[in-house]
Every structure is written in structure tokens, then in C-alpha cells.
Amino acid sequence: MTIGAAIFQVWRTALQARLRGVLPVGAAGFVRYIYALPIDALLLGGVLWILDRGIPAIDAEFLLLCLIGGVGQIFGTVLLIQAFAHRNFVVGTAYAKTEAAQLVVISVFFQGAHIAPLAVGGILLAVAGVFALSLAGQIMSLGALARASVQPAALCGLGAGTAFAITAVAQRAAALTLPSSVPIMLQAVLMLAITNSLQTLIQGGYMAWRTPADLRAALRLWRLGAPIGVLSAGGSALWFAGFALTDVALVRGFGQIEILFTLAVGHFFLRERTKRGEAAGLIMVSTGVILIAVGGAAG
């Protein structure tokens, strides 16, 4: 499920990266929600039909957690697309991949989790990888490190990682509020349908109020937005299924295989050239977050 989710996500993000030239950042992020709604309904209806059962009982806690996760994903998506405007697709995605490291920090402060030594090493390696990406082609110095840590791409990417980490934790918690008798795929598509509906209402309502021209542009370019919606629905359903099955840090850690797909898309699809220093940074980030996942499982 995680490998499938990673493939869908890379493909969808690549299409969104191309939209930044024809749509404002908010509108480019909104298309993933509005055009995913029909697919969400089809997935939910299909799973209910196959299982021959109705929608399980849900409570206010489930809805609140879906809302928190949905809002986090909105901010994460907008920040990620904004990062692309400062650096290329591959590097912008890599900054957000510190999400797995941030998940460990969130777990410690908000859930009282214990960080295994292997996970600590993974955090340090991932952070070093982010700096390597920031300083690709530059001389390593304290001044360069300071400048890299506050550059717009770094701030947007790290912010996106934080927002996506909050989304993962909230969706995992939402899944745990459902009865254990509810099948995993039904949990996933139910969370997907409710979360995406809330996201569409929140961001769509905000755009209608504050930036109606952007909303009209997103609706007018439906031929570009529809494929993004399909990929978003499929990828999110698989991510949510993974969150329902096991610890989110493990899912996101293994999901760093996405970096390999990102390199391929950036090179072959978007015609971007990856510098030697950037490639090394990507490898460090990927290895670091995998160590975090392994250390978390061992602990």
C-alpha cells in the first residue's frame, strides 16, 4: 500500500508542480480536493457494495480528527507548491521529506514516545541531508549553513513536512476511534471521503470569499485538474489504509522510497538536472528517515 501511495503521490505532485505556471499557489493546491470528490464517492460506494454493509457509526472525535488532518494537508500542500517556486521539484519534495523525522519529535512531545538511539541517528542524518541539499554546489561554512536554514525553500519545505506530519498523526488517531470490526479499506475510504469533503468546503469557501478569481481559474482548468484529483484520491486512500494498519512513522519512513521515484520524475518528466550535492542530500534524507522507522519499530 505504501509503495502504491508513493507512486500516486509523486505523479500527482509532478502534475501540480507544472500547474504553478498557470494557477496561483492556492488554486493549484485546491484542484487536488475538488476533483477528487467524485472518485472518493465511487471508492466509498464500491467498498460498501463489495463488503455488503453500511457506513459505520462515527462520532464527533472522528470528525474533529479528520478536520485537523485535512487542514494540515491543505497547509502542507500549499507550502510544498510554494517551495517549488524557490527551488526545483526534486529539492522541494526532499525538504518536505523531513516529515518522518518531525513525526518522531511530535510523538515524543505530544504522545510521550521514547526515541530509540537508531532513530536519533536517523534524525541527525536527515537534518544533515537537508543542509546538503541547501548547500549543493556551495562551500560548507557556518555562514552558509545559517543562510541555508532560513532560505524560503527550506522554510516552506520544512513547514510542509510539519503540516503533513500533523495530518498523519490525526488520521492515525481518527482510524483508532472506529470500531475494530471495520475493515481497513473501509476505514481508509471513509476517512478519505470525509476529510476531502471538509477540505473542499474549507478551502473552496475561503477562495470564494477572498480570491474568487482563483476559484474560477481552478474550475475553468478542469482538464488539467481532473487527473490530479484522481491521483490524489487513490494515493490518499492508500496512505490512510497504511495509517490504519500500523504506526505512522513506520509508514512514512518506508514511504521514503518516494524519493527514488521523485528523482526519476524530475529527470525524465520535468527535465530537471540534479546536482551531485543534491543527489547526496536526497540519499542522506532517505536513509535517515528509514533509520527512524526501523529504530521506532525496534523500540
214 CA to centre of own chain: 23
The ranges assigned to domains in the chain are 2-106+142-272
Q: Do the beta carbons of residue 180 and residue 245 sit within 8 Å?
A: no
How far is residue 164 from each of residues 41, 169, 211, measured CA to CA in Å? 23, 9, 25
State the alpha helices, DSSP H only, in the chain: 2-19, 25-34, 37-51, 60-86, 89-96, 99-111, 117-134, 142-149, 152-177, 184-210, 212-220, 222-245, 248-254, 258-264, 276-298
Q: Please write the tens of the pLDDT for every residue from 165-201.
A: 999 999 989 999 999 899 999 999 999 999 999 999 9
Neighbours of 210 (CB within 10 A): 10
Burial class (CB in 10 A: 0-12, 13-18, 19+), 283: middle
Contact at 8 Å (CB) between 37 and 153?
no
Q: For residues 79-90, b (16+ Cβ closer than 10 Å) or e, as one string?
A: bbbbbbebbbbb
Give tens-digit pLDDT for 35-94. 999 999 999 999 999 999 999 989 999 999 999 999 999 999 888 878 877 665 666 666
Per-residue pLDDT tens digits for 229-268: 999 999 999 999 998 888 787 788 778 777 777 767 767 7
